[in-house]
Amino acid sequence: MATAAASSASEPEAEPKSGPKADGEEDEVKAARTRRKVLSRAVAAATYKTMGPGWDQQEEGVSESDGDEYAMASSAESSPGEYEWEYDEEEEKNQLEIERLEEQLSINVYDYNCHVDLIRLLRLEGELTKVRMARQKMSEIFPLTEELWLEWLHDEISMAQDGLDREHVYDLFEKAVKDYICPNIWLEYGQYSVGGIGQKGGLEKVRSVFERALSSVGLHMTKGLALWEAYREFESAIVEAARLEKVHSLFRRQLAIPLYDMEATFAEYEEWSEDPIPDSVIQNYNKALQQLEKYKPYEEALVKK
């Protein structure tokens, strides 16, 4: 929906409007109301990051060109307190469902779907302490999926404010990487650790995380590339004359492994390096490229399943 514009320089900006655009869009309106409610909660920042920067545009007003649609939205607002009443009703419904799920888990703590539903509702209601406890309890019984871990990590990262919070997030990452061999979580870990480079031992921490990530998932044919690139970019950003060899080493290590888009990495290395690439590196690259061609059909078959 377009942003509302003032009719003149002296008039204030139009207040955001909301309401169903046409029959059959009740689900969209309900989703928008839910998002507005979440924004008023303590985990608003985490929700914003998870849902992405684009969603809030739906909360903006409308332009004059949307006159018919705007009139329909305005007529739907029969009273200023209507939505507030609907919010209260929905919140009460969610609280009853939370109580039901908690009772169900007290009877059967191994109900996987019940854990997932409880976490979702507690997060929606902004129950920060409770959602942390629910996630912790579930993680003690089940290995969490990549999606559940990333959602948890994104929430905690968004709310971390000081060094103690950062250590808490580091501990959470350590638990996450033990659950699954997951390139995306390792990549998040490496990128997050870069933010702590200004702390004592921060540089060593970043390199340690990236090296462990490469040992764990650096050989992943389809997703390992992102880790190598992130590590290389980090070293390039802090490079000193004495550290140039570190970047050379990362390029050479990566080019000896059969990974997707190897040709692009080789071309990047040629452009970056002031010296000709050694024959030994080219030979290792060609061998890895041949291996990649052999493995590709199997990887593509797995993706199709």
Q: Which domain holds residue 211?
A: 144-218
Q: Are residues 122 and 187 in the same domain?
A: no
Average pLDDT, the chain: 76
Q: Are residues 136 and 192 in the same domain?
A: no
Q: Which of 142, 159, 185 is the last residue of a domain?
A: 142
| Position 56 pLDDT exceeds 80 | no
Instruction: Indicate the helix (H) or strand (E) that contains 246.
Output: helix 244-255
Instruction: Please state which of the ranges 6-15, 22-31, 92-101 shows the lowest mean pLDDT.
Output: 6-15
pLDDT value of position 182: 93
Length of the chain: 305
Give every CB contact of residue 298 below 8 A, 6+ residues apart in sequence: none
Q: How many domains does the chain have?
A: 3
Contact 206, 197 (CB under 8 A): yes
Distances (CA, A) of 256 to 235, 253, 267, 298: 19, 5, 14, 20
Q: Are residues 204 and 157 in the same domain?
A: yes
pLDDT value of position 50: 37
Q: pLDDT tens for residues 31-47?
A: 444 443 433 343 334 33
Give a yes or no: residue 164 inside a domain: yes
- Residue-by-residue DSSP string for 45-101: HHHHHHH-TTGGGGGS---GGGHHHHHHHHHH--STTHHHHHHHHHHHHHHHHHHHH
Give a yes or no: residue 7 inside a domain: no
Residue in the block written with tokens 């469902």: 97
Q: pLDDT tens for residues 125-176?
A: 888 889 999 999 999 999 999 999 999 999 999 888 777 789 999 999 999 9
Give a yes or no: residue 247 inside a domain: yes
Q: Are residues 151 and 117 in the same domain?
A: no
In sign, the C-alpha dihedral spanning 127, 130, 132, 138 is negative
- CA–CA gap between residue 99 and residue 217 (Å, rounded): 40
Q: pLDDT tens for residues 204-236?
A: 999 999 999 999 999 898 899 999 999 998 988
pLDDT value of position 146: 93
Q: What is the rounded end-to-end Cα distance, in angstroms, of the chain?
A: 38
Question: 60 or 285: whose pLDDT is higher?
Answer: 285
